[in-house]
Structure 1
């Protein structure tokens, strides 16, 4: 249905289908969202809103009644909802409901850890809470193959790392001052991107203790690649404008990374979103390089040159992306 919709929209752009006949053409090939699809979307939306309301309701209930509740009552409430959500996920025959229930379990796991630490004053550092939380929900994310749980897992990993770096000051100097956060972000998201690319194709999924680990879509691969590309782009920025010799190592890493992105997602696994991100990154770094080359001579003329360069590079990048998309479309038509 999506291919037919794209084809009809392309014909409309070429003038083969009149604008006033576009809706009729889409309806003839069943490419318009049907009422049943809208009801399904609204139903899932209400389920998510209900689940999130339950989770946040429990958290705010504790916050408001903290002094009035005995610690056993607090643990009983959290554990009861955890058990109910787990049973709900286990016996549900609908994937959407299973994912929602597992998300409730994952969020309340963190709430339970925070409750334990606050009740018994364990003295643990904040980064340890997020690290343990991420470890505990990893099996849920693997089994559910849900982008929602993986996004939560990725957020917890980043939070744990950023908070942990504040306690390990020696690490800042080892990787070049403040850019150490960018190095860690690049490494984490780069390794995560490799993992998500390996499980993104169900034909290449692997098994762990007899359970197939895979994902139906590439959202997490795209997110991690873009985050890694963002980190290495800022490493290149630091390499250009920071006088630290260690910071200069970020520039060759950037060149290698963006070359890999351009090659892989144009030839190996087509992904226009990641190519667009790479184009934006390249434009940013080129403009920064020119600005760095101008140096102290930066004036009104320099600003005009930078503005002109941004327009030219952005236009060239947009044209290239359009040509790539058209070439892919023609190849698909030939293959069909």
Structure 2
């Protein structure tokens, strides 16, 4: 019996805490000491890789004047070459291969940052992260590891945030944003759609058992990034004192996309995460609209917002928990 079946068994017979402990022990449902040790080892290994990567950056920064230009580049390049060589020697899914490719991915970003800092190329910061993401695709494809995929996703979204925040006057990336250019609320839809495409890819990869997307939280991270941009687009649209046609269009797009995701989640009936993100997004957008367009004084707006947040979050929470119980029971019955 899995943990869900055990929970249903305990709930059905109304077992006490002592009886529940006995059931869990008999079913060997508690993590064994060996499993705890394995988890701790993996956490420490990942922490070690991240510490080595941070140490590489800090070592170069602390000895900037002493190492010299050639030494700085050589040090990072040696780390990348050694990491790739170890990854080829013990390729994924071997733990050494995965950790060394993660190290190579991080070192690639450090190398690009060093290049920009040394030669003062004048490139925008977003170009560093975008180049990092493009070069890092090779490591993600070779690593086939959810942690590496998530790291790439974070770097890619940082590049998008920096691009939209800086709003550079030129650059080839504007070809992607060309249909949305001219209005920030519309421009924010482009990264949202990109993240939705990545979410779909991650969900598809998980269904066909791609190792890079074996963990469900990777697709959840992509979906959360998409909702972050959707919420930003909606807030930017409603915060305009006089909403123009582009703002209205952006807001309609946001609501349409979120409604489509709600319909998709209700059809699958296996995950309330899209519904929770939609609820949070709508609550945030409506709260900003209330603050911008309803003039009832400071005290009135404070009371109105408190009332709206209390009611909306309570109703959303109750509905979501009800759906969780309903879908879980339907899954157990099936």
Query: Which range is displaced more, 298-307 or 69-78?
Result: 298-307
Show CA shifts across 1:35-86 (max 9, x none).
Answer: 1111111111221122222222221111111221243333332222222222
State the match for 1:209 in structure 2.
Answer: none
Query: Which range is displaced more, 31-40 or 147-156?
Result: 147-156
State the match for 1:255 in structure 2.
Answer: 255
State the match for 1:198 in structure 2.
Answer: 204
Query: Matched residue of 1:275: which SS?
Result: helix
State the match for 1:310 in structure 2.
Answer: 309
Q: What are structure 1's unaligned runs of at least 5 residues?
A: 206-212
State the match for 2:325 in structure 1.
Answer: 326
Query: Matched residue of 1:257: which SS?
Result: helix
2: distance between equivalents of 1:309 and 1:181? 29
Q: Is the 8 A contact 2:145 2:212 kept in 1?
A: no
TM-score scaled by length of structure 1: 0.83
Q: Is the 8 A contact 2:185 2:234 kept in 1?
A: no
- TM superposition shift of 1:13: 5.1
Q: Is the 8 A contact 2:189 2:229 kept in 1?
A: yes
Show CA shifts across 1:296-321 (max 9, x none).
Answer: 23575664454334333322222221
Higher relative contact order (CA 8 A, sep 6+): 2
1: distance between equivalents of 2:72 and 2:239? 52
- TM superposition shift of 1:195: 2.5
Query: Which range is displaced more, 175-184 or 80-89?
Result: 175-184
Show CA shifts across 1:138-195 (max 9, x none).
Answer: 0211232323222222232233334344252487996455436633432332232232
State the match for 1:215 in structure 2.
Answer: 213
State the match for 1:231 in structure 2.
Answer: 229
Q: What are structure 2's unaligned runs of at least 5 residues?
A: none
State the match for 2:110 in structure 1.
Answer: 111
Q: Is the 8 A contact 1:202 1:215 kept in 2?
A: no
Give matches, 1:1-336, under 5 Å. Answer: 4-12=2-10, 16-92=14-90, 95-165=94-164, 166=166, 168-169=168-169, 175-179=181-185, 182-202=188-208, 215-242=213-240, 243-245=242-244, 246-268=246-268, 270-288=270-288, 295-297=294-296, 300=299, 303-335=302-334
- TM superposition shift of 1:120: 4.3
- TM superposition shift of 1:218: 2.5
Query: Matched residue of 2:188: which SS?
Result: helix
Query: Matched residue of 2:30: which SS?
Result: coil
- Describe the shift of the 1:14–1:140 C-alpha distance in structure 2 as closer, same or farther (beyond 3 A): same
Q: Is the 8 A contact 1:197 1:221 kept in 2?
A: yes
2: distance between equivalents of 1:262 and 1:139? 34
2: distance between equivalents of 1:25 and 1:200? 32
1: distance between equivalents of 2:268 and 2:55? 46
Query: Matched residue of 2:295: which SS?
Result: helix
